[in-house]
Structure 1
Amino acid sequence: ADSSMTAPLEPGDAVQFRLAVGDSASIIAVRPLPDTAVARNPARTTTPITSADTEGPQMLQEGDRVPAGLTLVNQASESLQIGDYRGQTLVLTFIYTRCPLPNYCPLMSKQFAALQPQLRERYGEEAQLLSISFDPAYDTPQVLREYASKYTDRLDTWTFATGDSTQVQRATELFGVSARKTAEDEITHNLTTALIGPEGRVRRLWRGNDWAPADVQQAVARVVGSS
């Protein structure tokens, strides 16, 4: 919140801070710590939940074809495959329902909630949204149904999905999502949103959270216009 707090810090310093979470999240009360106060590689103290010990599938790039056999389970406990969306334009993102940071998973869901009626009005069921949870142990279909009800009352064009850990791991690796469970049972993760064309190829990737519904709407319009 106040960039002057970092003025006395040097690269490599150990620090302590508070994370204030409200309508947005900001770091406050930063102070340096002795170098011995924290582990040199603190990320190693967390548990990976979506990265394999062996080499996983290659991360998809724009233009790559998404494996049609990637299998998930939707909020109604029904099996679905990414290939089921062939012939439709699909926008997918990754979430977990307990995410406490308003500018991470809740923001992705709010963005999709704003995008859904725009796409449905223009394209009907030919444009679909898919939110994939990378927390399958907690985000059961029932939990996803309850979560979905906070953002939409139309599940004909927006699906919430999870799956067994192997398939969820495959999905996150394909789209470059890294998620690690902490000792506090929270998940540290990055964000990826993808646009997949009717032919099943990645048309656009948005890394992070600085995209707007209008950006996706324009990209979808280009994809539909070129199909």
Structure 2
Amino acid sequence: MAGSLIVSKKMKRFLPIIPSLGLLLQSCGSNPNPTPPAEKSTPQTATNTASEPESPKPKSGESRQFFVTGVVEGLKLGEGKVIVRHEDIPEFMEAMTMPFNVKNTNEFSAIGTNDQIHFRLVVEETRSWIDRVTRVGSVAAMKKPRREFRRVRDVEPLKVGDVLPNYPLTNQFGKLFHTDDYRGQALAFTFIFTRCPMPEFCPLMSRNFKKVYEEMQNDASLTNWQLLTISFDVEADTPKVLNGYSKIHGVDSSRWNFATGALIEIDDITERFGLAFSRMEGTILFDHTLRSVILDPQGKIDKIYIGNAWKPEDFAKDLKAAALIKPAQ
């Protein structure tokens, strides 16, 4: 992701909506308070029951190298990216279709869609890229599977100043809640899936939110704020997995929760903010975009961050400003 666009009340701009494709359905209930029970309120007192929510990450200054075979699904060389349907990468990432940063686009001068390639993937703490690319053959175009019928809603994109619809979700403790339960508080939320290991995507959103969390915790003058991370991988990111993922980040669940929901609800909220992602049986396709949102205490959209280049300190400043807006009477 090359950068970010911030949409605020001063900038009435919004990207066109891109429909999301199929994820498997997970049921969801309704109407709890989003704050989890007291006995589960802190990472120190809760039991970690998640199963492998995150891939190991290199320490600062270190890098990991993987040699991978995959098939080119798309070329975005103008953006310095290529989309590859790759094999399982042991101890890092299961078979997926993902965008990769290309170190030298000239390596793709004689490579096209459906070509099979072998390459080196280098992963550092905050960035990754591929190089040493060689073409090893070509494959027939992958047939798109027939999509089974599922319910979807005809939704309109949301913009700054709109009130967020009241979505039912389930948090990391299996507790059901509605987004309207956050009324009276400024709410910041972002979207991830925990199996995403690429440091410029979901892990970056989680690192940034951790910094926002720490910045907000350091300001004792404001207490009416909350953070929420929403997973769009409804099949894999169960409450159990999200609970383990939250503990990795060592946060107070009275301030920062992780949630998922029924597919129809996740499709609705992600489509309204222009996210694009997909999933098909046998492989995972998460060539996804990034969105982060701030709501004021009235439940209105105060800012929309598009991309990954926003700074946590600026985000925290915007969240503090939103928290000062008076709730609706």
Match of 2:123 in 1: 21
1:42-121 alignment to 2 at 5 Å? 45=144, 56-67=154-165, 69-121=166-218
- The 1:5–1:175 alpha-carbon spacing in structure 2 relative to 1, beyond 3 Å, is closer
Equivalent residues of 2:225, 2:323 under 8 A apart: no
Does residue 1:155 correspond to 2:253, yes or no?
yes
Distance 1:54 1:206 in 2: 25
Q: Is the 8 A contact 1:181 1:188 kept in 2?
A: no
Gaps of 5+ in 1: none
The one of 138, 143, 151 equivalent to 2:241 is: 143
Q: Measure the CA separation in 2 of the matches of 1:2 and 1:187.
A: 18
Which runs of no fewer than 5 residues in structure 2 stay unpaired?
1-100
| TM-score between both structures, scaled by the size of structure 1 | 0.82
Flag the 1:54–1:224 CA change in 2: closer, same or farther, 3 A: closer
The alpha carbon displacement at 1:212 in A equals 1.4
Q: Which has the higher contact order (CA 8 A, sep 6+)?
A: 2
- Structure 1 residue 59, shift from structure 2 partner: 1.7
What amino acid does structure 1 have at the position aligned with 2:190? T
- Give, in whole Å, the separation in 1 of the partners of 2:205 and 2:130: 21
The amino acid across from 1:131 in the alignment is T
Note the aligned Cα RMSD (angstroms).
2.9
2:229 to 115, 131, 140: 131
Number of equivalences: 219
User: What amino acid maps onto 1:94 in structure 2?
Assistant: F
Task: With the length of structure 2 as denominator, give the TM-score of the two structures.
Answer: 0.59
Return the index of the structure with the highest Cα Rg: 2
Query: Structure 1 residues 173, 26: CA separation in 2 closer, same or farther (over 3 Å shift)?
Result: same
Distance 2:244 2:170 in 1: 15
- Partners of 1:166 and 1:30 in 2: CA distance: 40
In 2 relative to 1, CA 177–5 (structure 1 residues): closer, same or farther, beyond 3 Å? Answer: closer
Mark the CA change 1:33 to 1:203 in structure 2 (over 3 Å): closer, same or farther: farther
**Residue 6 (structure 1) aligns with:** 106
Sequence identity, in percent?
29
